[in-house]
Each structure stands twice: as structure tokens, then as C-alpha cells.
């Protein structure tokens, strides 16, 4: 991260759904920290379905800050 708190040189890491309870889903992933100091993490869940052409426009996606 830079001094302003922005993530530098970010990279995607796939996560795996490990369990489901009703409408709640638990995902797991692993991030290797190769440097010391402040680290930033950002999470984006993108729903997938064969009939969805553009997953970013799916009505279940909510953007938040």
C-alpha cells in the first residue's frame, strides 16, 4: 500500500465456496504475504450463471465503499 492507503500492484486470487447455510455462503482463499509492512485487501464477489452475459450488471451485485 502507498502512504495514502491505496493498494499497489494488486492481483486477483480465486476463492472457493466451502459451505452454504440458507442464503449465506462461506468462501475461503489463501493470500501469501511476501513483504513486510502494511498490506491491503479488497474483496469483490461476482455472481456467475451461464445465462448472464455481463456479470457486473447482474441485479444481485451491490457496490459499496
Condensed to tens digits (0 to 9), the pLDDT of residues 15-24 reads 888 999 988 8
Residue 56's SS3 state is helix
In whole angstroms, what is the distance from residue 5 CA to residue 61 CA? 25
Confidence of residue 36 (pLDDT cuts 50, 70, 90): confident
Tell me the residue range of the domain where 60 lies.
Answer: 1-65
pLDDT over threshold 80, residue 48: no
pLDDT at 20 (0 to 100): 92
Question: What's the whole-model pTM score?
Answer: 0.53
Q: How many domains does the chain have?
A: 1
Amino acid at each position: 500500500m502507498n502512504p495514502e492507503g491505496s493498494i499497489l500492484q494488486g492481483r486477483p486470487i480465486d476463492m472457493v465456496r466451502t459451505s452454504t447455510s440458507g442464503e449465506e455462503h462461506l468462501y475461503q482463499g489463501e493470500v501469501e504475504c511476501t513483504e513486510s509492512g502494511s498490506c491491503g485487501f479488497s474483496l469483490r464477489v461476482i455472481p456467475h450463471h451461464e445465462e448472464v452475459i455481463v456479470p457486473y450488471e447482474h441485479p444481485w451485485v451491490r457496490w459499496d465503499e
